[in-house]
């Protein structure tokens, strides 16, 4: 509990939660936020654990090309266009990516990602946070 409090203080957040394994963290967090009826727009380069978390959430998943923010914008626009065409109410939308991709080491461009986002953003930082803290 002291470590969770120390991490929250360091990150400037109200609280933090530590899980013993990254795989369970991803599944718990995604399924806690995203539910059936929500739309998730996910990077094609996400790792297996995140893919499983998406399945558990039962959300509708739309994919964008790996680390391609122009394609992300296109997918977000197509999701909105589809919603308007079907005349369905606005649902919660999430963008899911990794901070540093496990498969190839590429880094997500968070400032650009946030600037093109028209929905809530969820990011997997379990592996990349220590690296990003040391490199800043």
Task: Please write the tens of the pLDDT for every residue from 65-101.
Answer: 999 999 999 999 999 898 889 888 878 888 888 888 8
Phi/psi at 58 (5° precision): 60, 20
pLDDT for residue 130 is more than 50: no
Half-sphere exposure of 3 (CA within 13 A, CB side): 4
8 Å CB contact between 53 and 24: no
Q: Which residue in 13, 38, 42, 34 sits closest to 129, CA to CA? A: 13
Rg value, the chain, Cα: 16
Residue 23 burial by CB count (10 A; 0-12/13-18/19+): exposed, middle or buried? Answer: middle
Pairwise CA distance, residues 53 & 8, whole Å: 24
Task: Please write the tens of the pLDDT for every residue from 17-46.
Answer: 777 776 777 778 888 888 888 999 999 999
Q: Give domain 2-135's CATH architecture.
A: 3-Layer(aba) Sandwich (3.40)
pTM recorded for the entire structure: 0.75
């Amino acid at each position: 509990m002291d470590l969770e409090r120390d991490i929250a203080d360091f990150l400037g957040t109200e609280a933090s939660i530590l899980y013993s394994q990254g795989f369970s963290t991803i599944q718990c967090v995604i399924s806690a936020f995203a539910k059936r009826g929500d739309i998730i727009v996910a990077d094609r380069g996400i790792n297996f654990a995140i893919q499983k978390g998406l399945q558990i959430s039962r959300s509708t998943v739309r994919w964008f090309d790996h680390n391609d923010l122009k394609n992300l914008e296109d997918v977000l626009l197509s999701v909105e266009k589809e919603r308007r065409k079907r005349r369905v109410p606005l649902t919660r939308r999430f963008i899911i990516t990794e901070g540093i991709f496990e498969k190839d080491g590429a880094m997500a461009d968070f400032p650009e990602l946030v600037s093109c986002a028209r929905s809530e953003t969820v990011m997997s930082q379990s592996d990349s946070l220590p690296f990003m803290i040391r490199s800043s």
